[in-house]
Structure 1
Amino acid sequence: MNNTAIQTQTGLSSFYAKIYGFVAMGIGLSSLVSGLMLTVFQQHLVNIILGPSWVLYLIILGELGLVLFASGAAAKNSPMALPLFLIYSVVNGYTLSFIIARYTQTTVLQALLSATLMFAVMATIGVTVKKDLSGMARALMGALVGVIIASIVNLFMSNGAMAYIISIITVLIFAGLIAWDNQRIRQVYFELDGQVPTGWIVSLALNLYLDFINLFIHLLTILSRND
């Protein structure tokens, strides 16, 4: 391997490391906030759960607006991209605590370990595979739209079996997206000759963060079936 190839590989590795540094910050913040909500601020969590349901729905809608705002800022390479990503991680950690509170500690730990292992495997595939995964990614995004619609319908039906099937499909979708998002990192690096704006870096990190969180949430549903 010549010096140019070595420099290119080193630069790409540093690029991955920077993105995953942001991902780790986001997941770390979310974990910290969720942990505090489930322990130190447990009474606040209980009060929200036992209070009017519209309060929690309002928080979730606000979170959705925030992630869209953060994505837009990243796409425009705004200086606010990283702060918005970190703020979103905090807010998401808050809302995640209401989901995690429904499950046993054993199930949460199993889901976390399973999500971490699956993420690592699919990320490795995305980094190393030579085949272009963009076609697969488009198909998965289309399937994700269908799953979102089915999930909304199931909110009114409250069908446990349907929720279980939706979660299995969603896990498969995000497993594929993890591979694609990791391959996309390499493509972006070479397309921009290694000169990637911070906004793009945050955008790529946000995608991976959302992949992991969604994987974890739906693994919770699958693994809790026997609780």
Structure 2
Amino acid sequence: MADYNTMRATAAGARTAQIDEGLRAHMNKVYGTMSVGMLITAAAAWAISGLATTTDPTAAVGQIGNGTYLTQFGAAIYTSFLKWIIMFLPLGMVFGFGAAINRLSVAGAQTYFYAYAAAMGVSLSWIFITFTGFSIIQTFLVTAIAFAGLSLWGYTTKQDLSGFGTFLMMGVIGLVVASIVNIFLGSSALQFAISVIGVLLFSGLTAYDTQNIKNTYVQMAYAGDKEWLGKSAIMGALQLYLDFVNLFMFLLQFMGNRE
């Protein structure tokens, strides 16, 4: 009997060690996929802003700053009806990803995520025209430090953050509605309030999502669903990617110096 109990304890310890090792690999894949998505977004945003502007007044459609002009391409994506499609395309792709995840393979889900990151880059390309390059880099570094700290806390804390999930998601929905309304109102006071609340909400979501990704892996690892584990890494990367991008954009409203 004692030998049997010892064997059970040994097997359970080996299983736990295996899950811990798998969790580290899983989180590395989540952060790695997210980082590649961030690079794609940055490259797409920078490339599109370069195509949209020029310093040659003879090739310009309109002036947007001292010595900086919009090209015909820039006028099309920033001043025509196309800007609304570009603005809301990433939101539509997020909902599409949630609906299609069960039908996609792991490779298909990863490709979809990278396509989404590129679309987000196009949608955010205007920041390179509106804000100085130094303030964008500065805000990115501050966001990266804050994100790393919050995500690390969410991963290591023993406090159960699941109770905050509903509250945070309700806050995000309210934030999206308020942001859409303010597109038409153009209220600076409302924009300031949105930015403050946005920083707080996505700071909380960074910690919450990190813990949720960790807990989901542990549950799925015991169930042995390897196919879903691969997809969950992509979904986790998308969640943390959205937390980072939104935290960056809201901080940019405070830290960004306009051209």
Normalised by the length of structure 1, the TM-score is: 0.89
**Structure 2 counterpart of 1:38, which letter?**
S
Task: Identify which of 33, 52, 67 aligns with 1:22.
Answer: 33
The answer (yes or no) to whether the contact 2:51–2:71 under 8 Å persists in 1 is no
Task: Identify which of 131, 137, 158 aligns with 2:159.
Answer: 131
In the TM superposition, 1:14-93 aligns within 5 A as: 14-39=25-50, 42-43=53-54, 46-51=71-76, 52-74=79-101, 76=102, 78-79=104-105, 80-93=108-121
Report how far residue 56 of structure 1 moved.
Answer: 0.8
Report how far residue 41 of structure 1 moved.
Answer: 5.8
Equivalence for 2:186: 158
The answer (yes or no) to whether the contact 2:168–2:205 under 8 Å persists in 1 is yes
Report how far residue 25 of structure 1 moved.
Answer: 1.3
Report how far residue 202 of structure 1 moved.
Answer: 1.2
State the alpha-carbon separation in 1 of the partners of residues 238 and 93 from structure 2: 12
Equivalence for 2:250: 218
Report how far residue 105 of structure 1 moved.
Answer: 1.3
Equivalence for 2:238: 206
The answer (yes or no) to whether the contact 1:123–1:178 under 8 Å persists in 2 is yes
State the alpha-carbon separation in 2 of the partners of residues 34 and 154 from structure 1: 23
What are the Cα deviations for residues 3-55 of structure 1, in whole angstroms up to 9, with x where unaligned? 55443322111110011111111111111112222336645974354344311
Match of 2:124, SS state, is helix
Report how far residue 205 of structure 1 moved.
Answer: 1.0
Report how far residue 139 of structure 1 moved.
Answer: 0.7
Task: Identify which of 133, 143, 146 aligns with 2:174.
Answer: 146
Contiguous gaps of at least 5 residues in structure 1: none
State the alpha-carbon separation in 2 of the partners of residues 150 and 217 from structure 1: 15
CA RMSD of aligned residues (A): 2.4
Normalised by the length of structure 2, the TM-score is: 0.79
Identity of aligned residues (%): 30
The answer (yes or no) to whether the contact 1:85–1:202 under 8 Å persists in 2 is yes
Moved more, 106-115 or 42-51: 42-51
State the alpha-carbon separation in 1 of the partners of residues 40 and 181 from structure 2: 32
The answer (yes or no) to whether the contact 1:82–1:202 under 8 Å persists in 2 is yes
Structure 1 residues 215 and 134: alpha-carbon distance in aligned structure 2, compared to 1, 3 A threshold: same
State the alpha-carbon separation in 1 of the partners of residues 135 and 94 from structure 2: 27
- What is the count of residue pairs matched by the alignment? 226
Q: Which protein, 1 or 2, shows the higher relative CO under an 8 Å CA cutoff with sep ≥ 6?
A: 1
Structure 1 residues 72 and 201: alpha-carbon distance in aligned structure 2, compared to 1, 3 A threshold: farther
Task: Identify which of 127, 133, 140 aligns with 1:99.
Answer: 127
Report how far residue 57 of structure 1 moved.
Answer: 0.6
Larger Rg: 2
Report how far residue 156 of structure 1 moved.
Answer: 2.0
What are the Cα deviations for residues 56-75 of structure 1, in whole angstroms up to 9, with x where unaligned? 1122233322222123223x
Report how far residue 207 of structure 1 moved.
Answer: 0.7
The answer (yes or no) to whether the contact 1:167–1:219 under 8 Å persists in 2 is yes
The answer (yes or no) to whether the contact 1:63–1:88 under 8 Å persists in 2 is yes
